[in-house]
Structure 1
Amino acid sequence: MKRVDLILSERELDPVLQAIDQAGCSGYTVMRHVTGRGPRGAVSENMEFSGLGANAHVIVFCAPELLEPLRSSLRPLLRYYGGVGFVSDAEPL
C-alpha cells in the first residue's frame, strides 16, 4: 500500500480531489486549515483567518498500481497551483 501526502492551498482542493477520483483511488482524508513552515516561510494565523494562505493536507492510501496514474494526474496540478506531494510505503496495522 502507498501513502500520498499532499499540502496545497485550500482554494485548489476541488481539482486535486477530482484528480484523485479519476486516478481510481477509493478515498482520501482532507484536513483543512493546516499551518506550518516550509521553504516559502510560515503560514500565519492572519493568513489562515483570511483564507489567503490557508492550506489543506490531503492523505491518500492506494494500491501500488494506482500510484503512477495518481502521480500523472497530480503533478501538473501541483506545478500549476503550487503545493507539495510525498509518497511513502504504508502497512495496515
Structure 2
Amino acid sequence: MIGVKRIELVVEAIEKQEVISRLESINIRSFTLYQHVGGYGERGIPDAGAFGEKFENVTFVIACSENHLQTVIEALRPILKRYGGMCLVSDAKWILH
C-alpha cells in the first residue's frame, strides 16, 4: 500500500466536462465518477426531476500524491468559486495490485 490524498469533488453535472478537462491538463487521467448524486446543502434538496439531468450533481473521487495535491486543488478551485460545490481531502491508502 502507498499513502495518497483522496479528493472528493461534488459539483453540478453541467460542470463535469470542465472538471475532466482541468484534470487532464495537469495529467490526472484516473478518477472515479459517480453520476446522479443527490444531497442536501445550502439550497436545500435539488429537484433534478423538475429541470432534467443537467441540474443533477456528480462526484469525482481522485487519488494523488501529497506532492501533487496543491496542483489539483488549484486546478479545481476556480470551478468551486464560480459554481459552488464541495471538495473534501483526506488521507487514504492505495492498495497496489
Q: Spell out, residue by residue over 1:9-67, the C-alpha distance to the aligned partner (whole angstroms, 9 max, x if none).
A: 110111111111222224111111111112221123524x7124200011001111111
Q: Aligned partners of 1:52, 1:14: CA distance in 2, in Å? A: 12
Q: 2:37 aligns with which of 34, 38, 41?
A: 34
Give the percent of matched residue pairs that are identical in Structure 1 and Structure 2: 29
Unaligned runs of 5+ in 1: none
Higher-Rg structure is 2
2:17 alignment counterpart: 14
1:26 and 1:62 in contact (8 A); partners too: no
User: Partner letter of residue 29 of structure 1?
Assistant: T
2:9 and 2:59 in contact (8 A); partners too: yes
Unaligned runs of 5+ in 2: none
Give the direction of change, closer, same or farther, for the CA distance of 1:50–1:14 in structure 2 (3 Å limit).
same
1:23 and 1:66 in contact (8 A); partners too: no
Aligned residues: 92
1:24 alignment counterpart: 27
Q: What SS is found at the alignment partner of 1:40? A: coil
TM-score (normalised: structure 2) = 0.83
Q: Aligned partners of 1:77, 1:84: CA distance in 2, in Å? A: 10
TM-score (normalised: structure 1) = 0.87
Q: What SS is found at the alignment partner of 1:37? A: coil
2:68 matches 1:62: no
Q: Aligned partners of 2:27, 2:66: CA distance in 1, in Å? A: 12
